[in-house]
Amino acid sequence: MHHLIPRKCHSKKWFRNCYSREEMKTRLARLCHTCHRQVHDFIPNEIEMGKKFNTIDLLLTHPQVANYVAWRRRRG
* Per-residue pLDDT tens digits for 24-48: 999 999 999 999 999 999 999 999 9
Closest-CA residue to 68 (of 38, 36, 46):
38
- pLDDT tens for each residue of 43-58: 999 999 999 999 999 9
Q: What is the value of pTM for the model shown?
A: 0.87
Strands (E) across the chain are located at 2-3, 28-29
Q: How many CB atoms lie within 10 A of CB 24?
A: 21
